[in-house]
Structure 1
């Protein structure tokens, strides 16, 4: 697992190659196995491979989403927010699992935050995406996960990148790693 985490980096440049259905199914099976608070499974996953829709999703935020237009696949991670007050945590866990499952299949990915962001001065990113995709108001969107074959090489992390000083032991002031 450590090797996978060291290797995974956010990918914003994708090749145009279509992702095989088997790989997409694997991503979704992994997502559906994500833990959730009290097994409420509030998360929902919308698979987008239509280039026109992906292009429209690329303007879902004021900044930080334009690279989406070149992604061959986007998974919209949302939740039935009335099922649990832990939907943000549950969708975040599922989003992370999708990204790790993508890396395991040699696919790149990048998280695009939607919850709490704006599409324009007056329109939230959440309402923009929901209207575009015909989603009901009972659903809230956490993120868009862009996925594709990497068209950029990033140096993997190394153990030297780990911030060991962030870990305490028994008390806050005693460090675990010395």
Structure 2
């Protein structure tokens, strides 16, 4: 699929078919993550692939808004070693986006569940909940969980999402005019 077609047609899907994701496709998703750039090529990330039904159910309870993970046959938990890079959030975010774009390109769907800076309940962060559940070391931070699978719903492509009013030229508030070079 052509890259801009992937960008236009990819949508977050939170309901999946009861169908496992073949190992070769999981490896493709991880390869896409490994191909993502990182600051000074430090590659601070670590990915945890989860396909165990009980763990998927438990992850779906990590925070409000994570319930779609219960129908996903596969999740990829995106973590990073914060001691390895001061921009681990950015590096891991780029890798997570690569996973989502690759999923759509190979016929799957995906969605992002934010874990960092979210709460599981009044006394525990979603990050601590996930770390305890999956045995993640203290020096690793949990950015997000990507739910992946074959979609059980179809969403239309995005239409008219360009927001040229949110683009400035050579300084904030200077209008960027499409199709015109700066005078």
Q: Structure 2 length normalisation: TM-score?
A: 0.93
How far apart, CA to CA, are the structure 2 residues paired with 1:113 and 1:26? 23
How far apart, CA to CA, are the structure 2 residues paired with 1:4 and 1:175? 29
Question: Displacement, 1:174?
Answer: 2.2
- Equivalent residue, structure 1, for 2:40: 38
How far apart, CA to CA, are the structure 2 residues paired with 1:44 and 1:78? 5
1:141 aligns with 2:142: yes
In the TM superposition, 1:100-115 aligns within 5 A as 100-115=101-116
- Structure 2 portions without partners, runs of 5+: 179-183
Question: Displacement, 1:175?
Answer: 2.3
- Equivalent residue, structure 2, for 1:126: 127
Deviation sequence 1:67-103 (CA, Å, 0-9, x none): 1100000000000111111000001000000000001
- Equivalent residue, structure 2, for 1:59: 61
Question: Displacement, 1:147?
Answer: 0.3
How far apart, CA to CA, are the structure 1 residues paired with 2:176 and 2:150? 38
Q: Which has the higher strand share?
A: 1
Question: Displacement, 1:20?
Answer: 0.8
How far apart, CA to CA, are the structure 1 residues paired with 2:65 and 2:177? 35
Hey, which bits of structure 1, 4+ residues long, moved more than 4 A? none
Q: Structure 1 length normalisation: TM-score?
A: 0.96
Question: Displacement, 1:177?
Answer: 3.5
What is the DSSP-based 3-state SS (H/G/I as helix, E as strand, rest coil) of the residue aligned with 2:117? coil
- Structure 1 portions without partners, runs of 5+: none
Question: Displacement, 1:169?
Answer: 1.4
How far apart, CA to CA, are the structure 2 residues paired with 1:113 and 1:123? 15
Structure showing greater Rg: 2
Question: Displacement, 1:38?
Answer: 0.6
Aligned length: 176
CA contact (8 A) 1:165 1:177 kept: no
Question: Displacement, 1:51?
Answer: 0.8
